[in-house]
Amino acid sequence: MIYPAEACYHSVMDSLKEISQRKLVDILDRIPGKKDLVIDPALMKPLDKITGVNMLRAHGVEKIHKMEKSEVISSCSSLVFLVYADLITAKHVVDQVQASRQRDSKLLYHLVLVPCGLLPINQLIEEEGLYGIVNVHVFAWELIPIDSHVLSFEIPHLYRTCFLNGDYSLLKSVAKSLWSLQMVFGKIPLVLSLGKLSKIVQNMVSGHFEDFGKPDVAVNKIGYMVIMDRSIDYTSSLLTSVTYTGLLDEVFGIKCGAVEFGKDVTGKANPVTYQLSSKDEIYNEIKNKHFADVYPTLKTRAKELEAHFAQLKAADLNTLKHHIKNEIRIVMTKRQSLSYHIGACEGIIGSMGGKYQELQNVEENIVRGRSKKESILYIENCLARQMSYTLALRLISLLSITEGWLTYDEVGSLKSQFLHAYGYKHLVTFHNMEKVGLFSTPTPSSSSAFGGVGDIANRVVQVVSLPKTNTFRLVAQKLKLFPDGNNVQDLKDPSAMGYVFNGLYIPLVCQLVHLLLKKEPKSVIEEQLKSVPGPSLWSEEVLMGSQSSNRARVVLVVVIGGVTQAEIGALQLLEKLTNSRIIIAGTSMLNGNLLMQQLVQS
C-alpha cells in the first residue's frame, strides 16, 4: 500500500487528540478541589474537538461559563480561566479577578493560556498586584483534526501577531506540534520550507529533535512536508473560490469545521451550529464540487430520497419494521443534511446575487493583467455603493500584487475614495497592508511637488509603459500557475487544480506538491523556486527503512498564517489524480475576508 491505511491514519489522529486531552487533564488535576471553568468564546469550538463535558466533570469541573464582560460568581474553591495567550484578553481576566477578590478573598484563581505563555502577560499580572494570586498554566494543544486529512493549529491571531506585528513567539507552539506529530508518524525525510517564518519553524523542529529526541517509529509514514508562509501566495486567499465549501466559508463563515445557519436556512427560530464532516454523505459528495454543479446534485439526491419514501408507503409491515429498526435514523439525518445544504445554496445565491459573475470577470481581468481601467472602475463602484469593505480591500490588494505597481494617481485615488466611504480610521489599515506586502504606494517624482516640467515628466512616466519586473507573473509563469486555457474543464469531473478558481489560477503550494509527487529532480524544483520571493530551505535525509526513490506518497502541507478552502479543495483533487495521500494543516482556516479583518486596527 502506498500510503497508510485509513485505520492507521485515524489512530494517529486519535493519538494527537489524546495527547491534547492528557495535557488539559494534567492542568486540571494540578488544581485541587472543585472548580468553575471560564472559557474564551473563541476557544469553545476547538475545545469541543479535543474534549467533552463529561471528561471535564470527571476532573473536577463543576460549571462551565462563557467568558463575558460580567463577573462570574463561583461557589467552588477555584476559578479557572481558559483563554488565548493575548494581552488584551488577559487584561479582561485580570479585571474580573480584581472585581471577584473584593467580593470573595478566599477564591483561588488560575489562568490557562493557549497555546503558549507570554512574558507580557506575566508582567501584567505582577503590575496589577496579582503575583502569587493568579497561577498561570500553559495548554499547548496539538494539531486538531477538523475533517478527513485536514488539521488546524486553531491559532487565528497568528497571522496578525507574526506577519504584522513581527512577534514570532507563537511559532514555538507550531514547531513543537510538528515535532509531536513526527514523534507519532515518524520523522519526515524531505522537508521544504518557503518563506521566512516557515524557515524559522523548520529550524526549530530540527532543534527539537536534537533537544527532545527522535521518534522510535521504524518506518516514516509521511514522505514529504511542505511548509509555506501565507505571504508567499496571497493570491489564493484573495480570489473568490468557486467550490461549495469555499463559497460557504465566504458567505456563512466556517469556524473549526462548523458553520452556523440561521432561520433562513434551517427554518428554526434559534441558530443551528452544523458540523461539516466527510462522514456526512451529502456534504462529502458536494464539498469540493464547482458551485454550478452543487444544486443539480442536491436535486438528484432529493428525488432519490422522495422515491425511497414513496416505496415505504407501499411496503408491507415487515419491511417497515426493518426500516424503522435499521435505517430510519440514517435516512432522517440524510434528509436534514440535504435540507440544510439546499438552504445554504439558496443563501449563497441570495448573498452573492448578480455580482457573482461580474466579480469573477473582474478577478480574471486583474489576474490576467488586462483591462486595468475597467477593474479600477469596478472597485470605485464598490466604494461608491459602500459594499463590503473587505471585498474592496481584497480587490485593491489583488490589483496591487498582480500588477506589480500602480501609478501614484491610481493609488491616491483608490485610497482617498476608500477613506471617504469607510472612514479615515482605515489609514492604519492601508499602512498594515503595506507592511505585510499586500499593497504598495509608489513614490512620486521629487520635482512633481513643484509643478511645471517635473509634473509633466511625472505624468509621462505614468503613461509610458516602462520595462519592469512583475514578481507575481514571473512566479506564475515559472511554476505554471496559470492553467492552460485551451483545456476546457468538465465541472462535474475536473482534472486540473485550477478549477477551484474557475480555471483561472492554481494555488502555489498545490503546484509545488504536484512537482514533488511527480518526483521532479531537486535541481529542477530549486530552479523554479528561485523566482519565489523569500528564503527557501530544503532538508533531505535517508532514514532507516526509507529510500528516497521509494518514499511514501504521503505529503504533509503546512501553511503558516492560514490555509484556504480553495487550497484544500485543490489538494484533495490532486490526491485523487495522483493516487497519493495529502494531509493539510494550517495555523488556522483562512479566507480573504478574515485576512483583511486582521489588518484592521481593533
Angle at 221 between CA 154 and CA 479, to 5 degrees: 70
Q: Are residues 398 and 488 in the same domain?
A: no
Q: Are residues 167 and 291 in the same domain?
A: no
Choose among 191, 114, 239: nearest CA to 548: 191
In terms of DSSP bridges, do strands 272-275 and 258-261 run parallel, antiparallel, or are they unpaired?
antiparallel
Cα separation values, 130 from 80, 105, 124, 304, Å? 15, 12, 9, 64
Whether the bond between 521 and the residue before it is cis, its omega within 30 degrees of 0, is: no
Q: What's the rounded Cα separation, in Å, for the pair 380 and 386? A: 10
Checking phi first, is residue 255 left (phi over 0); if not, alpha (psi -120 to 50) or beta? beta
CATH label of the domain that carries residue 36: 3.40.50.2060
pLDDT value at residue 315: 62
Residue 364 has pLDDT above 80, yes or no: yes
Q: What is the span of the domain harbouring residue 28? A: 6-141
Q: Is residue 462 part of a domain?
A: no
208-212, 294-298, 351-355: which range is least confident on average? 351-355
DSSP string, 204-244: HHHHHHHHH-----SS-S--EEEEEEGGGG-HHHHSPP-BH
Q: Are residues 58 and 98 in the same domain?
A: yes
Q: In the chain, what is the straight-line distance between the N-terminal and C-terminal CA atoms, in Å?
A: 50
Q: H/E element holding 338?
A: helix 328-352
Specify which residues 556 forms β-bridges with.
Answer: 225, 583
CATH label of the domain that carries residue 418: 1.25.40.850
Q: Is residue 460 part of a domain?
A: no
Q: Are residues 407 and 492 in the same domain?
A: no
Q: Are residues 335 and 368 in the same domain?
A: no
Last residue of a domain, one of 126, 141, 156: 141
Q: Is residue 414 part of a domain?
A: yes
145-159, 244-258, 482-496, 564-578: which range is least confident on average? 482-496
Q: Are residues 180 and 130 in the same domain?
A: no
Q: What's the rounded Cα separation, in Å, for the pair 584 and 569? A: 10
Q: Are residues 121 and 191 in the same domain?
A: no
Q: What's the rounded Cα separation, in Å, for the pair 217 and 421? A: 58
Q: What digits encode the pLDDT tens for the residues 118-158?
A: 899 999 999 999 998 999 999 999 999 999 899 999 999 99
Q: What digits encode the pLDDT tens for the residues 11-26?
A: 667 888 999 999 999 9
Q: Is residue 385 part of a domain?
A: yes
Q: What's the rounded Cα separation, in Å, for the pair 347 and 490? A: 25
pLDDT value at residue 548: 46
Q: What's the rounded Cα separation, in Å, for the pair 435 and 429? A: 10
Comparing 464 with 287, which gets the higher pLDDT?
A: 287
188-197, 218-227, 266-275: which range is least confident on average? 218-227
Q: How many CB atoms lie within 10 A of CB 540?
A: 12
Q: Are residues 153 and 26 in the same domain?
A: no
Last residue of a domain, one of 141, 162, 191: 141
Residue 311 has pLDDT above 60, yes or no: yes
**462 Cβ contact partners less than 8 Å away, ≥ 6 residues apart:** 407, 408, 409
In the DSSP assignment, the letter for residue 290 is B
- Tally the domains of the chain: 4
Q: Is residue 371 part of a domain?
A: yes
Cα separation values, 7 from 50, 477, 562, Å? 19, 40, 27
Q: Is residue 233 part of a domain?
A: yes
Q: Are residues 128 and 162 in the same domain?
A: no
Q: Is residue 276 part of a domain?
A: yes
Whether the bond between 4 and the residue before it is cis, its omega within 30 degrees of 0, is: no
In the DSSP assignment, the letter for residue 447 is G
pLDDT value at residue 217: 67
Prediction pTM value: 0.90
Task: Report, as an integer, the average pLDDT of 103-116.
Answer: 89
Q: What digits encode the pLDDT tens for the residues 322-343?
A: 666 666 677 778 888 999 999 9
Last residue of a domain, one of 141, 176, 204: 141
Q: What digits encode the pLDDT tens for the residues 542-588?
A: 554 444 444 578 999 999 999 999 999 999 999 999 999 999 999 99
Q: Is residue 433 part of a domain?
A: yes
Q: Are residues 85 and 124 in the same domain?
A: yes
Choose among 201, 479, 183: nearest CA to 191: 201
